[in-house]
Copies of this chain bind each other. A is one copy, B any other.
Amino acid sequence: MKYLIDEIYKSVRGLVPNAELCDGAEVELEGWVRTNRSSNKIGFIALNDGSCFQNCQIVYEEDKVANYADVAKFLTGCSVKVSGKLIITEGAKQPFEVNAAEIELLGDCDASYPLQKKRHGLEFLREIPHLRPRTNTFMAVFKIRSVVSQSLHEFFRQNGFVYIHTPIITGNDAEGAGECFTVTTREDGNYREDFFGKHACLTVSGQLHVEPFALSFGKVYTFGPTFRAENSNTPYHASEFWMIEPEMAFCDLKGDMAVMEAMLKYVINDVMKSCPDELEFLNNFVAEKHDLISKLESVVNSDFKVITYTEAVDELIKSGEKFENPVSWGMDFNKEHEVYICEKIAKGPVFLIDFPKDIKAFYMKLNPDGKTVAACDLLVPGVGELIGGSQREENFELLDRRMDELKMEKETLDWYLDLRRYGGVIHSGFGLGLERLLMYVTGVANIRDVQAYSRTPKNLKF
């Protein structure tokens, strides 16, 4: 009977018991050889089939396996089919192994295989994105990326949010002026004659396009790729990344923050429950200070605090701390300030709210003081800003005036103003960069290592 290694683990660990999988059961496994070592009489293969993080130890003995000498030569990377007896090894490091009766080579792998039994550097592995998911680190990272993404959909569905696919190709580059990729079928920049009859670019955010759906369905979200043609090579920037942007009608900034907190806790809890082996590996071998799990636990167990931008400025000045960028009201905080606020002042996850309007986007709701807007950034220890959100300006006159102040081309956004003309209501939303969340949840330090095939300047080999 054919099984996945994950099924056996779940049964032996009592998570999904399967009476068929008792000691001595005949099982058949297919997977890839991670390591293979042998003596004259007995050999051991660590077999991985991708269904779970753990390998299964295959024991093969010279007097039981007909092609013993061949099997002993199977190299790392070979794919094999194994038939044998399941041996439950209670108390041992690995809770079971398979004693092989037959081992068949499915696909050979020679010594030119780039993944050998040693630690490979992350930079080297970036050169082989098609093979690196076969390593422990990337198997853990991409499994968690999947669980986080699926978990986000679950959270939103359970809470009555409608999933909207906002467009990738857009004619509005209002938000990302100068940082947009052009989409074209021409080579001469003549956009009037172009495919869409005008200049087209890749979206930098789905927010403006998702707002109309919040004003129809109440609670919605978009979850898709976004793009920045920013020519910067840092560990935090990629040209293509995924964003989650929920938007809620009849919801103010306070309600917005409640959703962010609930969403984050839901997803982190799911990862801790679904990927314990992956997290343990990342905690021990990837997270610099081995504090990954304790960090995640403290997030789900804490009540997120709230402080205003103005309070934060006062506290930062009062602290007497020497910052690289001196603090004054009106400035945009840098990572040094965010980390200080989070780790020293709030001592945990904290919402920073009510920012000066001039450092925030045009659509954010003006507060009664006339100089701040109802925006918030969620700061978390170690990372700084994880999520940014705001209540949107629902008042037609105020939004119209703000767009004039900023000399925006209102014609292309007239439809956006319609949402304030026709039955407008208080609404709020936020944007969460999937990769930033993943770097936080996996402890991985470079955005290139949480993306299947990362796109950065001058880098498009695969």
Q: A residues near B, CB below 8 A?
A: 4, 6, 30, 32-33, 49-51, 77-79, 106-110, 112-113, 128-131, 133-134, 138-139, 142-143, 145-146, 149-150, 153-154, 156-157, 160, 162-172, 181-189, 195-198, 200, 202, 209, 212-213, 215-219, 224-225, 227, 229, 231, 239-240, 242, 249-250, 394, 415-416, 418-426, 451-453, 455, 457-462
Contact = CB atoms under 8 A, between A and B. Distances in A.
Contacts of A167: 240, 452-453, 455, 462
B195 A185 contact: no
Copies of this chain held together in the complex: 2
Contacts of A421: 109-110, 112
Contacts of A181: 169, 183-185, 195
Contact of A453 (B133, B143, B209): B209
Nearest to A114: B422
A183 B455 CA distance: 12
A171 B139 CA distance: 25
A423 B139 contact: no
A457 B194 CA distance: 9
Given A77-B423, A150-B154, A209-B452, 7 more contacts: A107-B424, A109-B423, A131-B422, A134-B216, A171-B462, A184-B184, A197-B457
A421 B188 CA distance: 42
Nearest to A212: B130
A6 B158 CA distance: 13
A195 B231 contact: yes
Nearest first, the 4 A-B pairs at minimum CB distance are A187-B189, A50-B218, A133-B216, A107-B424
